[in-house]
Structure 1
Amino acid sequence: MTRKPRSVPPEQRQVYVQVVEGLLQHGLRGQVSPRLRERLRQAGVDLDRPLLPLYPVPLWTRCLHIVIEEVHPGVPREEAFRQLARAHVEGYGATLLGRAVMGVMRVLGPRRVVQRLPEVLRGTDNYTEAVLTERGPANHELHINSVVDAPGYVEALFEALLQVGGARSPRVTKVREDADGTVLALTWTEP
């Protein structure tokens, strides 16, 4: 079955609650200081109230920047975003939906995890489209229709997902980034 691409204008792009919950309520458990909580509230995410079903992408991006400033001060930006991405994957696995997704990923193996990434990404927001091209058994190219203003974050996020699927030495590198989105190379060593 071919799905109709989601054509969502940038100003209407939103991330789903489980993405926000995964990082802010689970991935950062024990690291949300009163100052971080207040800065997130001022930005538009109030952790003292039930989370909203959707958050605008610019707000979510701002939250990521606030988190690295507060949780990883003094750490180079790219490394801070990489650490945040790993915590995000771990935290997402603690959400109701994330537990189910991660449970399936653990038994699939890395190749099938990568093959399911377009579907997994559709469950994180209302706009992401992903096209996967296989270059070899442990070598794929992934084109996503967005650019994330967080150097190293997307790469580390996908590396962590590959590890969940059992990949050894996963490596995700940005091939190019332009107005149409981001192209990533995903490689690993077969188990």
Structure 2
Amino acid sequence: MDENGFWAMIEAAWGVAGGKAKPRQRLSEGKLSEGRAYALQEVLEEEVVPALLERLDALSADELLEFDRILERKLYDIDRADIQERTDGSDDGFLYCRGFIVGMGRAYYEAVRANPDRAITDAECEQMCYLSWHLYHDKFGEMTPSGISRETCSNPAGWPPDSKPDAAPDAAG
């Protein structure tokens, strides 16, 4: 499993839900209304995540671990104050917004990384954040920690000292 395989698995799961290529592309371009983005959120939660779970269930322990490590890194890399300002104020809410961003696929993820204004306020997908971690735990037991965290404010490069949301823990203490 590499990054291309990671994104291909997400795209294959979207394929089960009809792909929704046009609205997801419009979302990436910043041309989709929030209402339609929330409709995509519903498809992500109700159709895409179950299809992705089914595909992940067929992976070996090593492949599933690799998928989870890539997911963790993707969530970590967009753990940034400038993205959080656009999405949600709480630490859990921002994690779930990052789950939505990853779950929408590579084009949207890259669009938000490049331009946080492309993010949608309160569009969330909690399931996406720990899907592979829970599956790995259920099938194979505990995972060896990777050394990074998907939790909000864990990426010090994304959070200047005075930019952390009030609900997030202080990294120093």
Q: TM-score range with shorter-chain normalisation?
A: 0.3 to 0.5
Which protein is richer in strand relative to its size? Answer: 1
Which protein is richer in helix relative to its size? Answer: 2
Q: Which has the higher contact order (CA 8 A, sep 6+)?
A: 2
Larger radius of gyration: 1
Provide TM-score, normalisation by structure 2: 0.34
Provide TM-score, normalisation by structure 1: 0.32
